Structure 1
């Protein structure tokens, strides 16, 4: 098997996980809405936010440092590297969890509005498993075990879905505790599977030396990365905290379901991120013509514009899959989709930041967008609830997209942006107005259908280029799969 086909097969294997996870997320939460109350769905969203924040903070950015240093150290020292980067965070998280467990304050009451020691217990187990999953997943990724990595990403969604099926089949009483149990057992299963798949590396790490000197050097690199990670986490989680503080768990539940439907955009992001960065860095190293990059950017603009408009055209179908209490998801989806689509588009338009190794500008863009998100949520959530949170998030990611794009243009590659900004701004304004003012489903469909047709006519040349790119690259991809 050729190197090229191996690379294609690796991409396909590693893509199965993000794609499968996104698809399962797209169907799991809507199913849960028929069995659980909106406020319980909102509490589940808070649980997931706290899990991701705990992993991010306690990891100290050392997970990213592990990826950065993996190929820089000799193969026989990689076990020591794993031990060195994972133990500090493990000690921190065990200490924090122990402190939380014996705390006189009710963690579950503060987070979920429910005073129950069992909920705190399950939360702590879920956080512990999630932290270890993060490092174990990187072991599989760096050792190029794509299938094992992907299966372990899909497994928690499958287990959670199975639990929902059992709850519904045997008519369990629909309580938030059942959701917490399903979430905890799903991450516990993944933790056990990851531990089994990485057992060889874990055994070697246990016997390896802990390198204090290496840790000190790595922390200089990792701590700033953690700062950027916290900023981006804040950008994606601010809306949920404002809904928790200034609205209700019911509105948070509605918003979470809207974001779940918007997960169709995350599928695009998963595919593009897997392929784009390695490809463009290779082109840069080989001094290829920048016209290639411009063609990809044009293609991504077309995809994002048409996908956003298409969501508007078919938004009338969303209420068919949800109970009456979640009907507002239809309009909130139009602003919720802005996060995955604009983030994905920014990956293409801001590639110069990575090429020129100016990552500080990404951090600046994130912080600026975070400030916009906080201000937007502060003013909009108390008045408009979930719709206000969606609007604030959409505006914040628009700012994130524009700042990164303009910086990249100035430090690396200039390209035409007027039409791109025009269509994105029009989509954003339409989506915001639909959430702030009242529009019937029929009016929304007509407006977005007209926009969809106008976009096709305006981007006819770029669509032809995109089809040409697919035609040129599909045969080699299929050949790679056959050779594999």
Structure 2
């Protein structure tokens, strides 16, 4: 078991290094974005484009990432594996071509609706070019990850992000200090890295038609598509409601807070990338349930500490931005809870993926997304950003608990759902208390209280018993 943990830890550390690097580069870029896009509404426009692109990314992936993860390890023959890879690439590129046709047909109307002007439609076209290249690159990096070529994945990902940073600064300073400049820099950087892996990419892009393989992939993947759309609704609908009922300025502040909240992924994203190949490889080992229970419990503790630390540090971190953006700091901690849960549910749903019961995830997130839309329309118009945050956190908390309960039915892990719920409530309460203390501008001594609440609470829940099991 120690050897297994070391392997997961080793890959996780490399992926964590990659994500720390990309996040630090993005963080270094962000003050420049706020400097060149001094109008908060302009940043709000960029944020909406990014969120629209994230929805299209979900559609393009079409659940095939989970299908490829399953069949890559299920099939042992190299040529057979290649069929699955090429089939996934074909499915994604076909969906993308349909999307491109739809955007070119309705682009001006979409731009007028969500960007407050039909003259911004060209921004969508630039973003779609980047999405096409990212679609090809993503399959290549996914296969490299499944082959445990972790160093190559890290190098390519960091190179892409670094190139985006360099080109963005050059374009913003010398050519065009606009949203268009940022999008063009992303397109050029993604093109360069895609060309770098061109030989492998061409191998995977080769057309293939194997009805049996397509059927298996789509049978596994299709039930996850509604879930992907539901994820997007939960994650992004608040932004569109804010824009519709409040203002692009509030969208800009909310988007700024979300970008800082993603810093919690410095702790989680390396594990997330390493988890799927690790868990799939270990699923049949008799000791795996106990191993998983320790990992689940450990992540709850680490996630709570991480969200509290981020909340604590935000008043100082936010000072790197222009004054018009600094009010975002108070929202970061609560949003980070939802960001953590967005990662955590993927870890604790292993039983669902092991048994191919992926429809469950679609049903759960589909229902939660409906709740999220209704709640957003009721709460955001009167309460603005705070309303959006409450809906966001509550939606992911409900989904996480339900999915864990279902996963336990298919693959039991000795961590009770009561401990899970209690830990999530404790994290929310601790962060909420610290946020309130910051809002009230109490002296620094008061900041000890949330930390005491968290650690005493974790001891009361007795997660420590999980680590003593053998």
Return the TM-score normalized by structure 2: 0.82
Could you tell me how far 1:337 is from its partner in structure 2?
A: 0.6
Could you tell me how far 1:279 is from its partner in structure 2?
A: 5.5
Runs of at least 5 residues in structure 2 that lack an aligned partner in the other structure: none
Mark the CA change 1:94 to 1:402 in structure 2 (over 3 Å): closer, same or farther. Answer: closer
Instruction: Give CA deviations for 1:280-335 in whole Å, capped at 9, x if unaligned.
Output: 66666332285544433332232222223333333322432222212221211122
Secondary structure of 1:340's aligned partner: helix
Contact residue 26 and residue 264 of structure 1 kept, 8 A? no
Q: Which residue of 1 aligns with 2:399?
A: 400
Matches within 5 A, 1:149-160: 149-160=153-164
Q: Which residue of 2 aligns with 1:17?
A: 18
> Is 2:39 aligned against 1:35?
no
Could you tell me how far 1:430 is from its partner in structure 2?
A: 6.6
Matches within 5 A, 1:190-205: 190-196=193-199, 198-199=200-201, 201-202=203-204
Distance 1:415 1:261 in 2: 31
Matches within 5 A, 1:79-158: 79-101=82-104, 105-114=108-117, 115-116=119-120, 118-158=122-162
Mark the CA change 1:235 to 1:447 in structure 2 (over 3 Å): closer, same or farther. Answer: farther
Instruction: Give CA deviations for 1:175-210 in whole Å, capped at 9, x if unaligned.
Output: 2222222233233333333335x25624xx53x643
Q: Which moved more, 1:292-301 or 1:220-229?
A: 292-301
Could you tell me how far 1:336 is from its partner in structure 2?
A: 0.9
Distance 2:421 2:62 in 1: 37
Instruction: Give CA deviations for 1:4-30 in whole Å, capped at 9, x if unaligned.
Output: 888876555455434433343344334
Could you tell me how far 1:256 is from its partner in structure 2?
A: 1.6
Mark the CA change 1:58 to 1:66 in structure 2 (over 3 Å): closer, same or farther. Answer: same
Matches within 5 A, 1:135-284: 135-167=139-171, 169-170=173-174, 174-196=177-199, 198-199=200-201, 201-202=203-204, 206=206, 209-276=208-275
Contact residue 309 and residue 448 of structure 1 kept, 8 A? no
Q: Which residue of 2 aligns with 1:74?
A: 77
Contact residue 313 and residue 449 of structure 1 kept, 8 A? no
Could you tell me how far 1:264 is from its partner in structure 2?
A: 2.0
> Is 2:49 aligned against 1:47?
yes
Q: Which moved more, 1:416-425 or 1:29-38?
A: 416-425
Distance 2:249 2:222 in 1: 37
Contact residue 381 and residue 387 of structure 1 kept, 8 A? yes
Mark the CA change 1:434 to 1:243 in structure 2 (over 3 Å): closer, same or farther. Answer: farther
Distance 2:405 2:7 in 1: 36
Contact residue 22 and residue 264 of structure 1 kept, 8 A? yes
Could you tell me how far 1:398 is from its partner in structure 2?
A: 1.6
Mark the CA change 1:434 to 1:292 in structure 2 (over 3 Å): closer, same or farther. Answer: closer
Distance 2:262 2:358 in 1: 26
Mark the CA change 1:209 to 1:156 in structure 2 (over 3 Å): closer, same or farther. Answer: closer
Contact residue 235 and residue 370 of structure 1 kept, 8 A? yes
Could you tell me how far 1:378 is from its partner in structure 2?
A: 1.2
Distance 2:343 2:120 in 1: 40
Matches within 5 A, 1:256-405: 256-276=255-275, 285-288=284-287, 291-347=290-346, 350-354=349-353, 358-405=357-404
Mark the CA change 1:48 to 1:448 in structure 2 (over 3 Å): closer, same or farther. Answer: same
Distance 2:141 2:288 in 1: 36
Runs of at least 5 residues in structure 1 that lack an aligned partner in the other structure: 470-484
Could you tell me how far 1:232 is from its partner in structure 2?
A: 2.0
Q: Which residue of 2 aligns with 1:478?
A: none
Mark the CA change 1:326 to 1:124 in structure 2 (over 3 Å): closer, same or farther. Answer: same
Instruction: Give CA deviations for 1:454-481 in whole Å, capped at 9, x if unaligned.
Output: 3334546979889999xxxxxxxxxxxx
Distance 2:242 2:269 in 1: 27
RMSD: 3.7
Return the TM-score normalized by structure 1: 0.80
State the aligned residue count.
Answer: 461
Instruction: Give CA deviations for 1:50-71 in whole Å, capped at 9, x if unaligned.
Output: 2222232234434443333334
Secondary structure of 2:401's aligned partner: helix
Contact residue 125 and residue 184 of structure 1 kept, 8 A? yes
